[in-house]
Amino acid sequence: MLAFDSGDLKKASNYAHELLDTAPQFKKDWDYGNAIHHGNCVLGRVALQQGDTKTAIHYLLESGKTKGSPQLDSFGPNMCLARELLVKGEKDAVLQYFGLCRNFWESGGDQLDEWTRQVKAGETPDFGANLRY
């Protein structure tokens, strides 16, 4: 995530692929869900920066398929890629992502309901703290 934020897309992509490639060895680790979520989010953001919206959507949905983690279950998912895709008009993909997030972020149901309402109304939600890693 830091490599992406610094503008080094190649390094960000390499780190994210490495994270996702090694994650299956640690499926019982509490941090496994974070690895799946964040690795896919970074790859999606890289794809979007490279103009590949279809691949970015794929990675957004893959990030939502995480089993969760103590952090994701409590504070919710990162919404950077979702926000960037909304700006590109990809409402359906973001709404599908919200649905996937409900599988692990049970306490965030009200927040997801509100964001869903806003997206359906053509608005881009203020994702607040969910834009931080």
Dump pLDDT digits (tens) for 53-103: 999 999 999 999 999 999 999 999 999 999 999 999 999 999 999 999 999
User: ∠52-9-95 over CA atoms, to 5°?
Assistant: 45
CB–CB of 32/26 below 8 Å?
A: yes
Helices (H), 50-90: 53-63, 70-75, 80-87
Give the other-Cβ count within 10 Å of 98's Cβ. Answer: 22
Q: Is the pTM of this model over 0.85?
A: yes
